[in-house]
Amino acid sequence: MAENHSTRQLLEKIPNYPCLYRHKVNATYYGIKKIGSKRKEHSLQTTDRKIAERKLKRWLEDFDKIDSNAERTTFSELLDKFSAANEGKGKKTRATNTSIINVLKKTWAADLQMRVSHIRPSHLNEWLALHEGQLKHTSYNRYAGFLKQLFEIAVGDKMISESPCARG
């Protein structure tokens, strides 16, 4: 009976393709990679073999770009990191960045405790759109630039492999 088995027990290895598995019941493909002593599983969210192979390749490439401990960082923690990195900047730059962080904390629609890796370009676009009507062009560009700088820290610290600003 399939309902008594965990997902892990229902995964079948795909022959001649390393790290690729298929769920026996729902036919969804999964990637499985052992790193050190830990086994990482990732749903490729497709039942199409060719799409699964492409997604698996990208997922495996991202392993070198992401630190498994840093990927648990929340958005709020990233903002704190940015603030700490901001301390060496000029007084006016610090004041501008602090102001943007305060606005962001007050108006961010999603949870500030969400993982940085779960933030999508749509989250950022929604937040920018919320303020677009109230800002001059230069201020809007500064808000967008702030987000790019913020997520450059996340990429640099291996929290994410690619900035949502780059995809947006």
Digit-coded pLDDT (tens) for 40-94: 888 899 999 999 999 999 888 877 777 777 878 999 999 999 999 888 899 999 9
Domain termination residue (choose one: 42, 62, 82): 62
Question: Does the pTM of the predicted model rise above 0.75?
Answer: no
Tens-digit pLDDT profile for residues 6-38 = 777 889 999 999 999 999 999 999 999 887 677
The answer to whether residues 44 and 104 belong to one domain is no
* DSSP-derived secondary structure letter, 112: T
Q: What is the pLDDT of residues 142-154, one digit of tens each?
A: 999 999 999 999 9
Residues 100 and 150 occupy one common structural domain:
yes
CATH number of domain containing 144: 1.10.150.130
Tell me: do 145 and 101 sit in the same domain: yes
CB atoms within 10 A of CB 90: 8
| Order of strands, sheet of 38-43, starting from the edge strand that comes earlier in the sequence | 11-13, 20-23, 29-35, 38-43
Phi, psi (degrees; rounded to nearest 5) at 77: -65, -35
Q: What angle do helix axes 91-107 and 137-156 make, rounded to 10 degrees?
A: 90
The number of beta carbons lying within 10 Å of the beta carbon of residue 161 is 17
Whole-angstrom distance, CA of residue 162 vs CA of residue 63: 12
Q: Is the dihedral of CA 77, 79, 83, 84 positive or negative?
A: positive
Whether residues 125 and 91 fall in one domain: yes
Domain identity same for 111 and 159: yes
Which residues span the domain enclosing 24?
Answer: 2-62
Verify that 27 and 87 share a domain, yes or no.
Answer: no
Whether residues 110 and 156 fall in one domain: yes
